[in-house]
Structures are given as C-alpha cells and as structure tokens.
Amino acid sequence: MFLKSLKRGGESKATVLRGLLELFVMNECVNWTTTKKVLDKIKEETSGNWSPNLAAFYATFRKFEKKGFAKARLAIVDGKKRIEYKLTSSGERELAKRKESMREGIKKNAFVMVRITSYILCGDSEKRFKMIESVKKALGEAYG
C-alpha cells in the first residue's frame, strides 16, 4: 500500500524507490548473487507489489561496480553463464552506513507517524497513550 500511495508523489517517489532499491541490492550482495536472484527476492519480500524499473535496477549494479562498492564475476548458475555480484569491503562499509541512517530515520519518523495517526484515530484518549507507549517500547527493543 505504501509503495502504491507514492505513485502520486512525483520525484519524491523516484528518490524513495531509488534509495530502497540501492539498499536492497547492497543487502543482497553481501554474498555472491545474480541479478535474477535479487529481482526474485524483491518480488518475494514485497508479495509482488514492487517491480523496480529494470533500467534503474541494472544501472544500480553498474553504478556500484564503478564506485568500487561491488565486484562482478562470471559464474555457471543452474547450468547457465551468469554474472554474479558481491560487495567489496568499501561496499560493506557503505551498506552499514546506509543501514544506520535508515535505522535512525525509522526511529524518528515511525514515532511521529504513530503520534499523528493515533491522535486522528483516538483523539486524546487513554487508548492513544497506550498505543504510543507500546510503539516506544517496540522501537526501543528493535533499535536499542
């Protein structure tokens, strides 16, 4: 639903999706993998609700190679020649940096979203404050 709601967002949608795509690709390239496996994993994790633009998808791999974040090799996968990709140590550092940035953004924005939506749904009721406290607790457990 979130990804579909971004369709009206213009450039911000493209920016969000590009960032998610890059982070997803990096995360999958911790071990040697093919572009097909990454696309299949995106489809699996989003229940088929996100099909990245293929030009942008393949350009992401080239971009990471050019920046030194990933390396490529020719391999035989299921009896076929395929190019596999893996993060370099520089790519692993970049992934860690991006994950931390995402973690901080989620902590900050998730709490704001819950406060606003709980107010809209519950007003200033006790139920709202219980909801906020449970989210605070969950965020604390998930993100330390």
Map 57-112 to HEC letters: HHHHHHHHHHHCCEEEEEEEECCEEEEEEEECHHHHHHHHHHHHHHHHHHHHHHHH
In this prediction, residue 11 has a pLDDT band, given cuts at 50, 70 and 90, of: low
In this prediction, residue 18 has a pLDDT band, given cuts at 50, 70 and 90, of: confident
User: What residues form DSSP beta bridges with 33?
Assistant: 85
36-87 confidence digits (pLDDT tens):
999 999 999 989 888 898 999 999 999 999 999 999 999 998 899 999 999 9
pLDDT tops 60 at residue 2: no
Helix, strand, or coil (residue 23): helix
76: buried, middle or exposed (CB in 10 Å: 19+, 13-18, 0-12)? exposed
Delimit the domains of the chain by residue range: 1-87, 89-144
pLDDT tops 50 at residue 5: no
pLDDT tops 50 at residue 97: yes
What's the pLDDT score for residue 120?
80
Residues 6+ apart with CB under 8 A from 19: none
Pick the more confident residue, 7 or 13. Answer: 13
Pick the more confident residue, 14 or 96. Answer: 96
**Where is 33: in which H helix or E strand?**
strand 33-34
pLDDT tops 80 at residue 28: yes
Class for domain 1-87, per CATH? mainly alpha
pLDDT tops 80 at residue 142: no
What's the pLDDT score for residue 103?
84
